Structure 1
C-alpha cells in the first residue's frame, strides 16, 4: 500500500528566522520529504550506498537529498553514501558512459546487495535516463530512481517506466519543479554527449552565453545556493527525525 504523503503543514523548520536566497531551492522541501516517505524502508536500512545525480539541474536536488541521507546514516552508524553526478541524456556515448558506470561499480564494492539511488529533477518520458539505466543493468548494478517532479502529472509514465527499467521509481510532486533548468545554481553545465559536467566558472570566458553575470557574481550565486542547500538539508533532516520519533511513539 502506498504511504500517505505529508503536506507542508507537517514540515519542521529548524531555522525559521533565516530565509532562503533562492525560492527554487526552498520549494524542493516538500517534494524531497515526500520522496523520503516513499523510500523510508530503504533509507532506514542503509541500502543506498551511492546517490547518483542527474546533472546539471538535478545537482541541487541531489546535494540536498545527499546531505539528508548522510545525516541519517551518520545517526544510524552506517557508512556515508557516496555522492556522484553524471549528465543523463539520450545522446550520451555508450563507451565512455559504460566506463563511468564501471567506476561506480568499483566504488560500491563487489558482491554487495547495495543500491544506487538516481536523483533527477523531472521526468517527462524517461528518455534521458535510458542510456544510464541500460548501462547500470548491463553491469549488474541495482538501482532505484527518485524524481522531484513529473511533467504533466502523468502517473502512467512512471508506472510504465517501472516495468521497463525494472526498478522502483518514486516522485515528489506531479509538476515540473521550479529548479528545472536552473543549472547555473549548481555551477555546472553540460554539452551534447558529455559524460562529465563542465564548470561554469572555468568556461565562462570561453562561451559568452555562460558569462551570465560575470565571474564574481556567478560565484556569489553559487555560494548562496550552497548555503540554501545546507540549510534545507538540515531542516529536512530535523523533520525526518521528528517523524521517526512520532512513529516510534505510536508503536509504544
Structure 2
C-alpha cells in the first residue's frame, strides 16, 4: 500500500513538472572541466568536461572514468545543484540539478530527455556498467550560459553506486568562458580557474582533433582565460573545435 501511494505521488508530481527547454544561447567556445580527486586506497579517477555545441544549442559532454569498484554497479553520475564543499564531502552537493522540478521518480526515460532532471546525465545517456568508461554525447538541456537555469559552470559532478551511495565528486572549473553570439566580448563567469590542460596522457597532447575515445592527436591548444576577448568572426571557428577538445581533455585525465 505504501509503495502504491508513493508511486501515485510521484506520478502526480511529474504531472506538475515543466519539460526542460532546449538551451539555444550557449556562448561559443565555453568549456568546463571537473576532475575527480584521487583518494588513498581507491583506484577511482577520471573527469567530465562540458563544452558548448557549435550552434549554441546544448552542451557536448565527454566522460572518462576508470577504477570503479568491481561491485556496486551499474554506476550513475549526475550534475548536482551545489558545488562540493571545501572538505570534499560529496553530501554537500545537495540533490540533482533540477530547475524544472521534475523529481527523481518515476525514473528518467531516455526516450524523452526533456522530461528528465537536467542534471541526470546517466539517466538520459546511460549508466556505466563496467569499471572503466569513456565516451561523449550531446545534451541539449544543459547550459554554459550563466544566466540559464540549467547552467553547470558553478556546480559539481557526483558518481554513485547503484544504491545511490556517493563515491566521488568534483566541481566544474572554467577553462574558457566563451563568446556570446551577439557580442565580441567574453561571457563573464568570474576569473579563470587557472586550470592547465594536461600535456600528457593516453596519446600525447590535448588538441583540436581526436580519434574516437582513445585520445587526441595534433597541435596542442592552450585554454583561453575568461578575460580574453575573441572577435565575433572567430566565435564559430572556436566552437567548431570545442567538441573534439572536450573529448580529448576527458580522455587525457585518466
On whether the aligned pair clears a TM of 0.5, the verdict is no
Point out the structure with the larger helix share: 1
Q: Under a length normalisation based on structure 1, what TM-score does the superposition of the two structures give?
A: 0.27
Q: Under a length normalisation based on structure 2, what TM-score does the superposition of the two structures give?
A: 0.27
Point out the structure with the larger strand share: 2
